[in-house]
């Protein structure tokens, strides 16, 4: 099936098209929509006795000079406003860079005699190229047949469709220019790309499309042709499509008429040759209403009608050769029919007697909609639609079984890519199915969050396996932080309407998300999951995208389509309004933050929504829309849509059309939303006059101060064939319009900012910018409104620094609260404003900080909000910042790991508002229980130094442990790196075995000695548990289903059996298997009279505390150290080590924990209060102790 | 094998048909027993797809040879009209699909390991003649499959082993669900015993899995020592021939 053929003609393209240009922007204060004068020239038309006045009918004549001037003025006005929008330049740059980084798209595949034909689109090329491969696995065999980018300036020539000959030696290609879809047919040699002399005009037009099919021996082809000048009246030149035959080498004037003269004026013909070329099938659509008739030409050249419009056969495919000569050739035509089966059934009609009366049902109607199918050698491959998402099954005719494709290889043959099984997710769709040879099919899938993949399935080789091919897309921007929610809205009549909500993971339902809602609802075309990386640009601004599965589409079969066409069209609008109301009621957004976007038939939807529910939205972007439903059928392509919309000639249909026609329901002095109308001068599907008239009417009527803009592109049409540069311009316009209109304080920061390394007079702030070359400086103020700013010197984002910018701001006031933001490219980025407090001056000071560890990668647990709400002086992560377990020396993976975590709204907000202190553990350093032998050690160390705002490291910079210290008041913090220097856990536990490593241990001891006496309280961040004996957990008797607080002296004696007994985790992570070194440290503390030492750690997924009773590991005692454990942030529970004097708190699933340490310096003593809390801020564990502080500070 | 759709080679067709004409359906027991076993050949259809049909012949208790053809498990069809005269064998296969019967007639001259002859089929409406070059399936070369259960969720990992035998040396590929494809190493087949290794790499470290077993008809029975990234495990191994 060649691309675009499935789209037929009409207004359909926008349904699955060019990814909805999800855009955003705002023109706050741009009110001058009355600047272009639009004189009223009333004309009255009469329909069934009803007089309808039309003030702007004069705008229908696009050739009129006055209209051209008016359009130019509108364009100038729109451009003037759009180009001034502050976000536009950034957005265009961002989009251009993303498109430049995107991978090729491979689509519209065909198979002929061992050769795969396909279109490849690889920006920055403006248009897709036609090429061939030996197989889907062999990208190296790529051979370009035709590159239309070389044909015309600015990439204005596009391939409408192509058809290879049956032997694959030649390809017939329809080419058109400037998005006009007015195609001329050429022939190219596959092997050389050489153009043959053929040039057949008028084979393709937007009205009925176009098509071709080769004969058996490749000596000629059948093709669709529109009337030549003089053959019909001028009004009918884009109607009456017929089939002709062209013999290669002969002049087109000698082409012979073949078929079609008796078809309706609005017939749309698609041609298809049987695999052996002996039969030719003509699928004839009755306009765009979804009814088809089928005609078959046999080997003798005789045409026979197989189905009529009223037979509801929607698709026809030829049977295939068998797998082996012991089975017969499948001389049959398979039909997908909705007759008495609105969800579809598949019939088989023998080619020898191709009458429907001879049909047998091979697949009856089922629960799901049969969306597509392809016969193979021994069965049928069928795509089942489930309300939007879809899946593919194979019906084995030999074994009489149905099989879902399960499993799939986790990697390609090269082992390079993870699995994306097409049937395992609810948000994916099968977008194309191609039967190649035997039982082999190629299946293209896409999901909202995953680019396309072409899969190969061969029932003969492996009935249960489908494997990805190298024909797969990659996204230039990760969608790991995005999720899709499938919700249901209740329409006015109670119908459930599915709604796909694309949002950032962890998005808060606070009613403040700028949201773009889009829909289509027409022609029986379904809104299926599709991937569009540009959506991320909107999501990055806190946006949400919602895609509705409206009636009029085919998501639930033909009944769903009929429920929204002809006189039922109002249902589509009611469904969409219900979706908008759902988004508001569910607190995703509010009317002031809601925008609607749609195109073509979806543009009609936009018109209906803004005239029926103007109060529901703030802005509307409408592409190539239809608005005057009383006169639409007067346009050439409008006539083809009478079968979908109805005709004013039919009284009841006129009543329905007039009841909703948007142009006729614009009310004077109504407050309409901001509107951006977009249209293409060369649009042959929807007359741009609709956009002109609607714009004039809205501009005259609206009482709001919001703009109504009309943007007309001279280099595009309905959207098909639009050059890449033009698409980027459109996207930038749409996004910047919505950002402005929805009042988004947009940000240019990609990740962060976050602060750390705070001292009484300085702070370190880091952030990641979207791309290199952006200039930024840090602005700091004591005022939340960011007045009277202090600046750190500017820096420029550089690719070799991963576009991370770092600012060290000094000379701040101690003990002072500051707000900060980045000034990027001269604009203060208020949207990502952060804050911090400088530390108090050295000396007695009281403060509070939070500490915790162990979070699922990019966790969005509310525990991070609870921590932030305490406004601690700093937050210290003691390890397992993520669980990526990276075990390769790959900085890109570590950088991506930080990116992933900082994409969590909950964590990003915490780190923006509370200074960060960080010491890693195993999962974020190099894998479970990892040590200095980790292959990732260097990458991990360097990435930490690059990305994390940290205190100066003890050993300088580079490939070194990340141990560090800092001071607050009279408290010394010593953070030891217990991973990157550690010996293997399995090593014999003796004096040689070390967790710290020799050099770091020496440093640690020196730090203790230096701190002793100078700082009454010394907090050692050990990261792993201190207390416990190897192989002796006091919690072995705990049942697996026992949670909450428990004490080793008071464990509840529940009957414990083999299945519910708690098995403590192995001791590898623990100081207990480094007991000799632990004793060495304890003895050091004892012998040097280290005073005021306490230990903070995580790793174990529990809250725990010990007052020193069980922590004294000095020889013969003498070094009792208070120990406090705070974890997990959201991981599942684990109990390690012990016992603990204050007990342990075992978390329930989903319960997150953290520690809050209050330090109260009373001069002669420092009181320490540890509060272990959960994600509901409930206190679950406490420990109080104090240290003497008299005279100690004076030593310093 | 090259396909000949030569409608024009009438003479050849006629000759073959004459040859197929059943003078008698008898089997010469001594010669028939020489045919017992599994025979395979490669066939390319007009659409370019390749299949490897196989013929399985067994001596029954009455001393008669019987058998079936198939292109994959579950597609077996019995052969009829089997004759063996000297080193000439002929038989036919009848299959029916969608109400249409296809008769495929095979005839050839055999020796210990090969059959060379013709096939005639009316699969596309008229008799078509093709070359038939079959070889006896010996050793372990071919396609083998097995599955292993994981966890309690009913998940089964499917493995497909494609082996090529040259003397005692085995080469080929092992492809497994969620593990991808890997070349086999140290492949050996001797005295009915098969062994080979595969390697998987994760984060720069290589893990080796070892397979060993004994050929028993259409099955290999043995053990596989699997290394799950540092955690060794030994499982029973029962592979079934798929080709």
**Rounded to a whole number, what is the distance in Å from the CA of A885 to chain B's nearest CA?**
10
Rounded Cα distance, B172 and B174, in Å: 7
The predicted structure's pLDDT at residue A262? 93
**Rounded to a whole number, what is the distance in Å from the CA of A556 to chain B's nearest CA?**
31
Contact status of A830 with chain B (Cβ, < 8 Å)? no
The predicted structure's pLDDT at residue A149? 92
A327 → closest Cβ in B102, B125, B180 = B102
Residue A11 has pLDDT above 60, yes or no: no
Q: Residues A1167-1187: what's their mean pLDDT? A: 97
The predicted structure's pLDDT at residue A1062? 62
Rounded Cα distance, A69 and A84, in Å: 23
Give alpha helix (H) positions in A823-887. 863-869
Cβ contacts of A887 on chain B, cutoff 8 Å: 202-205
Q: Residues A108-129: what's their mean pLDDT? A: 93
Rounded Cα distance, A965 and B70, in Å: 75
Question: DSSP secondary structure string, B143-201?
Answer: EEEEEEEETTTTEEEEEEEEEEEETTEEEEEEEETTTEEEE-EEEEEETTEEEEEEEEE
Residue B242 has pLDDT above 90, yes or no: no
Residue A9 has pLDDT above 50, yes or no: no
Distances (CA, A) of A225 to A242, A268, A641: 5, 11, 20
Cβ contacts of A397 on chain B, cutoff 8 Å: 97
**Rounded to a whole number, what is the distance in Å from the CA of B139 to chain A's nearest CA?**
21
Q: Residues A580-603: what's their mean pLDDT? A: 97
Is A321 in contact with B158 (Cβ distance < 8 A)?
no
Residues A281 and A316 sit within 8 Å (Cβ to Cβ)? yes
**Rounded to a whole number, what is the distance in Å from the CA of B236 to chain A's nearest CA?**
22
Q: What is the phi-psi region of residue A4: left when phi exceeds 0, alpha when psi lies from -120 to 50, beta otherwise?
A: left
Which site among A134, A328, A380 would you substitute to test the B interface, given the most B Cβ atoms closer than 10 Å to its Cβ?
A328
Q: Residues A695-721: what's their mean pLDDT? A: 88
Contact status of A331 with chain B (Cβ, < 8 Å)? yes
A968 CB contacts (<8 Å, ≥6 apart)? A839, A840, A845, A847, A849, A873, A1159
Cβ contacts of B123 on chain A, cutoff 8 Å: 322, 325-329
Q: Of A652-656, A713-717, A926-930, which gets the smallest average pLDDT?
A: A713-717
Q: Report the run of H or E that residue A132 belongs to, with start and end.
A: strand A129-133
The predicted structure's pLDDT at residue B25? 56
Residue A802 has pLDDT above 90, yes or no: yes
A894 phi/psi in degrees, rounded to 5: -70, -40
Residue A52 has pLDDT above 60, yes or no: yes
Contact status of B148 with chain A (Cβ, < 8 Å)? no
Q: Residues A696-718: what's their mean pLDDT? A: 90
Residue A161 has pLDDT above 90, yes or no: yes
Contact status of A935 with chain B (Cβ, < 8 Å)? yes
Contact status of B129 with chain A (Cβ, < 8 Å)? no
Q: Which of residues 415-444 of A touch B (CB under 8 A)?
A: 415, 419, 437-440
Is A320 in contact with B74 (Cβ distance < 8 A)?
no
The predicted structure's pLDDT at residue B203? 58
Residue A1193 has pLDDT above 80, yes or no: no
A580 CB contacts (<8 Å, ≥6 apart)? A517, A594, A596, A609, A613, A616, A617
Q: Which residue has the tokens 């889907």?
A: A136
Q: Which of residues 309-328 of A touch B (CB under 8 A)?
A: 320-328
Nearest residue to A753 (alpha-carbon basis) of A702, A823, A814, A682: A823
B71 → closest Cβ in A323, A464, A927 = A323
Question: DSSP secondary structure string, A337-368?
Answer: E-TT-TT-EEEEEETTS--GGG-EEEE---SS
Kindly report whether the peptide bond that precedes residue A851 is cis, defined as omega within 30 degrees of 0: no
Is B49 in contact with A413 (Cβ distance < 8 A)?
no
The predicted structure's pLDDT at residue B26? 78
Nearest residue of B to residue A419, measured between CA atoms? B178
Nearest residue of A to residue B127, measured between CA atoms? A325
Number of A/B CB contacts below 8 angstroms equals: 126
To the nearest 10°, the Cα dihedral for A1114, A1116, A1122, A1127? 60
The predicted structure's pLDDT at residue B149? 73
Q: Which of residues 46-75 of B touch A (CB under 8 A)?
A: 46-51, 53, 69, 71-72, 74-75
The predicted structure's pLDDT at residue A988? 93
Cβ contacts of B181 on chain A, cutoff 8 Å: 409, 413
Residue A751 has pLDDT above 50, yes or no: yes
Residues A690 and A682 sit within 8 Å (Cβ to Cβ)? no
Rounded Cα distance, B93 and A325, in Å: 10
Cβ contacts of A413 on chain B, cutoff 8 Å: 180-181
Tell me the pairing of strands A1144-1146 and A1102-1106.
antiparallel
Higher-confidence residue of A780 and B241: namely: A780
Higher-confidence residue of B149 and A1088: namely: A1088
* Sign of the torsion formed by the C-alpha atoms of A423, A426, A427 and A431: positive
Rounded Cα distance, A623 and A603, in Å: 6
The predicted structure's pLDDT at residue A93? 95
Q: What is the phi-psi region of residue B106: left when phi exceeds 0, alpha when psi lies from -120 to 50, beta otherwise?
A: beta
Q: What is the mean pLDDT of chain B?
A: 82
Is B48 in contact with A114 (Cβ distance < 8 A)?
yes
Tell me the pairing of strands A1123-1126 and A1093-1097.
parallel
Residue A117 has pLDDT above 70, yes or no: yes
The predicted structure's pLDDT at residue B205? 66
Cβ contacts of A114 on chain B, cutoff 8 Å: 48
Q: Of A373-382, A436-445, A482-491, A715-724, which gets the smallest average pLDDT?
A: A715-724
Contact status of B154 with chain A (Cβ, < 8 Å)? no
Q: What is the CA radius of gyration of chain A?
A: 35
Q: Residues A1091-1106: what's their mean pLDDT? A: 96
Which site among A217, A326, A330, A358 would you substitute to test the B interface, given the most B Cβ atoms closer than 10 Å to its Cβ?
A326
Cβ contacts of A327 on chain B, cutoff 8 Å: 95, 97, 102, 123
Q: Of A235-244, A1060-1069, B112-121, which gets the smallest average pLDDT?
A: A1060-1069
Residues A342 and A358 sit within 8 Å (Cβ to Cβ)? no
Residues A294 and A335 sit within 8 Å (Cβ to Cβ)? yes
Residues A466 and A386 sit within 8 Å (Cβ to Cβ)? no
A407 → closest Cβ in B77, B125, B177 = B177
In chain A, % of residues over pLDDT 90 = 81
- Position B229 confidence tier, pLDDT thresholds 50, 70, 90: low
Nearest residue of A to residue B183, measured between CA atoms? A413
The predicted structure's pLDDT at residue A29? 39
Residue A716 has pLDDT above 90, yes or no: no
Q: Residues A871-890: what's their mean pLDDT? A: 96
Nearest residue of A to residue B155, measured between CA atoms? A407
Cβ contacts of B69 on chain A, cutoff 8 Å: 326
- Position B151 confidence tier, pLDDT thresholds 50, 70, 90: low
Residue B24 has pLDDT above 60, yes or no: no
Is A328 in contact with B100 (Cβ distance < 8 A)?
yes
Q: Walk across the sheet containing A594-599 and list its strands.
A: A482-490, A496-504, A544-548, A515-518, A594-599, A619-623, A674-680, A708-713
Rounded Cα distance, A579 and A518, in Å: 10
Question: DSSP secondary structure string, A658-688?
Answer: HHH-GGGG--TTB-PPEEEEEEETT-SSS-T
Six-digit token string for A206: 């937007």
- Position B150 confidence tier, pLDDT thresholds 50, 70, 90: low
pLDDT tens, position by position, A407-457: 333 322 222 333 344 444 456 889 899 999 999 999 999 999 999 999 999
Cβ contacts of A407 on chain B, cutoff 8 Å: 157-158, 177-178
Nearest residue of A to residue B53, measured between CA atoms? A324
Residue A684 has pLDDT above 80, yes or no: no
Question: DSSP secondary structure string, A553-583?
Answer: BSTT-HHHHHTTSGGGTHHHHHHHHHHHHHH
Nearest residue to A351 (alpha-carbon basis) of A304, A285, A283, A284: A304
The predicted structure's pLDDT at residue B128? 95
Contact status of A926 with chain B (Cβ, < 8 Å)? no
Contact status of A32 with chain B (Cβ, < 8 Å)? no
Q: Residues A902-929: what's their mean pLDDT? A: 96
In chain B, % of residues over pLDDT 70 = 82
Neighbours of A243 (CB within 10 A): 26
Is A407 in contact with B102 (Cβ distance < 8 A)?
no
Neighbours of A609 (CB within 10 A): 24
- Position B191 confidence tier, pLDDT thresholds 50, 70, 90: confident
The predicted structure's pLDDT at residue A21? 35
B203 → closest Cβ in A330, A411, A887 = A887
Rounded Cα distance, A388 and A365, in Å: 18
Cβ contacts of A324 on chain B, cutoff 8 Å: 43, 45, 51, 53, 71
Six-digit token string for A449: 């969050």
The predicted structure's pLDDT at residue A199? 96
The predicted structure's pLDDT at residue A907? 98
**Rounded to a whole number, what is the distance in Å from the CA of B167 to chain A's nearest CA?**
26
The predicted structure's pLDDT at residue A767? 98
Which site among A166, A274, A327, A416 would you substitute to test the B interface, given the most B Cβ atoms closer than 10 Å to its Cβ?
A327
Q: What is the mean pLDDT of chain A?
A: 91
Contact status of B153 with chain A (Cβ, < 8 Å)? no
Six-digit token string for A1061: 């007994």
Is A325 in contact with B97 (Cβ distance < 8 A)?
no
pLDDT tens, position by position, B122-135: 998 899 999 999 99
Residues B188 and B170 sit within 8 Å (Cβ to Cβ)? yes
Nearest residue of B to residue A399, measured between CA atoms? B74
Length of chain A: 1196
Cβ contacts of A884 on chain B, cutoff 8 Å: none
- Position B139 confidence tier, pLDDT thresholds 50, 70, 90: confident
Rounded Cα distance, A1048 and A1036, in Å: 10
Residues B49 and A438 sit within 8 Å (Cβ to Cβ)? yes
């Amino acid at each position: 099936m060649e691309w675009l053929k499935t789209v037929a003609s009409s207004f359909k393209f926008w349904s699955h098209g060019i990814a909805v240009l999800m855009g955003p922007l705002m023109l706050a204060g741009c009110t001058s929509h009355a600047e272009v004068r639009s004189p009223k020239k009333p004309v009255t038309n009469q329909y069934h006795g009803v007089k309808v006045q039309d003030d702007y009918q004069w705008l229908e004549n696009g050739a009129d000079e006055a209209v051209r001037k008016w359009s130019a003025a509108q364009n100038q006005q729109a451009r003037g406003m759009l180009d001034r929008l502050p976000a536009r330049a950034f957005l265009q740059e961002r989009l251009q860079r993303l498109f430049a980084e995107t991978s090729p798209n491979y689509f519209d595949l065909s198979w002929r005699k061992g050769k795969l034909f396909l279109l490849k689109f690889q920006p920055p090329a403006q248009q897709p190229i036609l090429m061939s491969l030996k197989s889907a696995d062999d990208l190296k065999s790529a051979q370009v047949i035709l590159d239309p980018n070389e044909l015309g300036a600015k990439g204005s020539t596009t391939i409408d469709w192509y058809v290879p000959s049956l032997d694959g030696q030649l390809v017939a290609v329809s080419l058109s220019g400037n998005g006009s879809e007015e195609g001329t047919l050429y022939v190219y040699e596959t092997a050389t790309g050489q153009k043959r002399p053929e040039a057949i005009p008028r084979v393709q037009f937007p009205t009925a499309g176009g098509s071709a099919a080769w004969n058996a021996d490749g000596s000629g082809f059948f093709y669709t042709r529109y009337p030549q000048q003089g053959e019909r009246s001028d009004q009918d030149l884009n109607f009456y499509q017929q089939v002709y035959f062209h013999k290669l080498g002969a002049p087109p004037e000698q082409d012979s008429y073949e078929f079609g003269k008796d078809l309706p004026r609005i017939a749309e013909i698609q041609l298809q040759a049987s695999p052996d070329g002996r039969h030719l099938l003509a699928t004839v659509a009755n306009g765009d209403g979804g009814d088809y008739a089928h005609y078959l030409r046999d080997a003798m050249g005789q045409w026979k009608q197989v189905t009529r419009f009223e037979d509801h056969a929607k698709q026809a495919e030829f049977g295939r050769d068998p797998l082996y000569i012991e089975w017969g050739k499948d001389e049959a035509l398979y039909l997908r029919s909705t007759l008495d089966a609105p969800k579809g059934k598949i019939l088989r009609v023998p080619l020898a007697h191709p009458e429907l009366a001879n049909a047998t049902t091979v697949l009856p109607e089922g629960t799901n909609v049969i969306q597509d199918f392809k016969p193979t050698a021994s069965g049928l491959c069928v795509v089942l639609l489930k309300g939007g998402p879809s899946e593919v099954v194979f019906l084995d005719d030999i074994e009489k079984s149905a099989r879902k494709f399960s499993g799939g290889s986790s990697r390609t043959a090269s082992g390079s890519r993870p699995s994306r099984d097409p049937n395992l997710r609810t948000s994916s769709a099968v977008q194309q199915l191609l039967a190649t040879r035997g039982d082999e099919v190629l299946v293209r899938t896409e999901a909202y969050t995953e680019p396309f993949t072409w899969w190969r399935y061969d029932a003969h080789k492996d009935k249960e396996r489908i494997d990805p091919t190298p024909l797969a897309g990659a996204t230039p921007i990760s969608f790991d932080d995005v999720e899709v929610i499938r919700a249901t809205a209740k329409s006015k009549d109670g119908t459930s309407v599915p709604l796909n909500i694309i949002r950032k993971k962890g998005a808060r339902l606070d009613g403040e998300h700028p949201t773009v809602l889009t829909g289509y609802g027409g022609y029986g075309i379904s809104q299926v999951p599709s991937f569009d990386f540009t959506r991320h640009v909107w999501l990055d601004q806190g946006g949400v995208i919602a895609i509705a599965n409206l009636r009029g589409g085919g998501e639930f079969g033909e009944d769903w389509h009929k429920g929204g066409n002809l006189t039922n069209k109002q249902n589509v609008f009611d469904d969409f309004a219900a979706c908008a109301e759902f988004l508001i009621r569910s607190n995703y957004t509010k009317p002031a933050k809601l925008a609607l976007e749609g195109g073509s038939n979806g543009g009609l939807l936009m018109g209906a929504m803004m005239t029926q529910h103007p109060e529901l939205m703030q802005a509307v972007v409408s592409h190539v829309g239809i608005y005057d439903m009383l006169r639409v059928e007067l346009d050439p392509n409008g006539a083809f849509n009478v079968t979908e919309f109805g005709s004013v000639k039919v009284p009841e249909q006129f009543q329905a059309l007039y009841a909703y026609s948007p142009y006729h329901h614009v009310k004077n002095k109504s407050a309409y939303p901001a509107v951006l109308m977009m249209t293409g001068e060369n649009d042959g599907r929807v007359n741009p006059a609709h956009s002109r008239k609607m714009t004039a009417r809205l501009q005259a009527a609206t009482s709001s101060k919001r703009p109504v803009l009309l943007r007309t592109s001279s280099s595009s049409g309905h959207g098909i064939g639009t050059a890449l540069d033009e698409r980027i311009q459109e996207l930038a316009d749409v996004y910047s319009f919505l950002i402005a209109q929805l009042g988004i304080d947009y940000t240019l920061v990609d990740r962060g900012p976050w602060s750390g390394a705070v001292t009484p007079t300085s702070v370190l702030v880091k952030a990641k910018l979207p791309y290199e070359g952006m200039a930024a400086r840090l602005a700091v103020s004591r005022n939340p409104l960011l007045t009277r700013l202090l600046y750190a010197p500017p820096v420029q984002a550089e690719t070799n620094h991963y576009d991370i910018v770092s600012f060290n701001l000094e000379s701040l006031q101690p003990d002072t609260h500051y707000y900060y933001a980045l000034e990027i490219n001269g604009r203060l980025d208020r949207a990502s404003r952060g804050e911090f407090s400088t530390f108090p001056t050295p000396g007695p000071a009281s403060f509070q900080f939070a500490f915790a560890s162990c979070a699922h990668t990019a966790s969005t647990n509310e525990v991070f909000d609870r921590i932030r709400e305490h406004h601690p002086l700093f937050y210290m992560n003691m390890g397992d910042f993520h669980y990526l377990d990276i075990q390769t020396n790959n900085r890109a993976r570590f950088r991506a790991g930080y990116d992933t975590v900082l994409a969590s709204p909950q964590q990003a907000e915490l780190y923006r508002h509370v200074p960060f202190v960080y010491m890693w553990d195993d999962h974020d350093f190099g894998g479970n229980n990892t040590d200095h032998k980790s292959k990732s050690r260097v990458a991990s160390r360097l990435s930490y130094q690059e990305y994390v705002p940290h205190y100066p490291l003890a050993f300088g910079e580079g490939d070194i442990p990340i141990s560090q210290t800092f001071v607050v008041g009279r408290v010394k913090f010593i953070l030891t790196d217990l991973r990157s220097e550690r010996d293997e856990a399995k090593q014999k536990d003796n004096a040689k075995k070390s967790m710290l490593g020799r050099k770091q241990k020496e440093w640690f001891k020196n730090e203790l000695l230096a701190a002793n006496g100078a700082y009454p309280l010394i907090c050692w961040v050990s990261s792993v548990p201190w207390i416990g004996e190897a192989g002796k957990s006091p919690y072995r008797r705990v049942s697996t289903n026992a949670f909450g607080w428990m004490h080793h002296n008071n464990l509840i004696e529940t009957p414990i059996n083999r299945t519910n007994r708690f098995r403590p985790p192995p001791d590898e992570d623990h100081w207990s298997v480094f007991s000799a070194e632990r004793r060495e440290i304890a003895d050091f503390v004892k012998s040097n009279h280290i005073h005021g030492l306490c230990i903070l750690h995580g790793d174990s997924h529990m809250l725990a505390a010990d007052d020193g009773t069980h922590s004294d590991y000095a020889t013969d005692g003498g070094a009792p150290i208070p120990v406090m454990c705070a974890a997990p942030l959201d991981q599942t529970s684990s109990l390690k080590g012990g016992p603990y004097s204050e007990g342990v708190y075992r978390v329930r699933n989903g319960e997150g924990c953290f520690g809050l340490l209050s330090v109260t310096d009373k001069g002669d003593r420092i009181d320490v209060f540890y509060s272990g809390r959960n994600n509901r801020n409930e206190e679950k564990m406490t420990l109080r102790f104090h240290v003497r502080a008299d005279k100690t500070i004076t030593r310093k | 094998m090259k396909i000949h759709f030569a409608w024009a080679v009438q003479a050849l067709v006629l000759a073959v048909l004459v040859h197929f004409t059943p003078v008698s359906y008898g089997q010469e027991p001594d010669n028939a027993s020489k045919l017992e076993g599994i025979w395979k050949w490669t066939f390319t259809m007009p659409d370019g797809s390749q299949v490897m049909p196989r013929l399985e012949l067994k001596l029954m208790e009455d001393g008669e040879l019987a058998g079936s053809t198939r292109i994959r498990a579950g597609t077996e069809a019995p052969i009829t009209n089997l004759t063996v005269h000297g080193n000439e064998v002929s038989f036919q296969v009848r299959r029916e699909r969608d109400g249409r019967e296809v008769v495929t007639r095979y005839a050839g001259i055999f020796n210990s390991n090969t059959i060379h002859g013709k096939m005639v089929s009316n699969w596309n409406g008229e008799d078509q003649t093709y070359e038939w070059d079959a070889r006896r399936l010996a050793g372990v070369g071919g396609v083998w499959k097995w599955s292993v259960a994981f966890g309690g969720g009913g998940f089964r990992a499917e493995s497909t082993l494609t082996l090529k035998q040259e003397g005692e040396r085995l080469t080929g590929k092992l492809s497994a669900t969620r593990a991808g494809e890997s070349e086999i190493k140290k492949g050996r087949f001797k005295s009915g015993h098969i062994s080979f290794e595969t390697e998987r790499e994760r984060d720069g470290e290589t893990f080796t899995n070892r397979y060993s077993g004994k050929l028993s008809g259409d099955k290999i029975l043995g053990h596989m020592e699997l290394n799950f990234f540092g955690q060794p495990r030994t499982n029973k191994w029962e592979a079934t021939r798929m080709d």
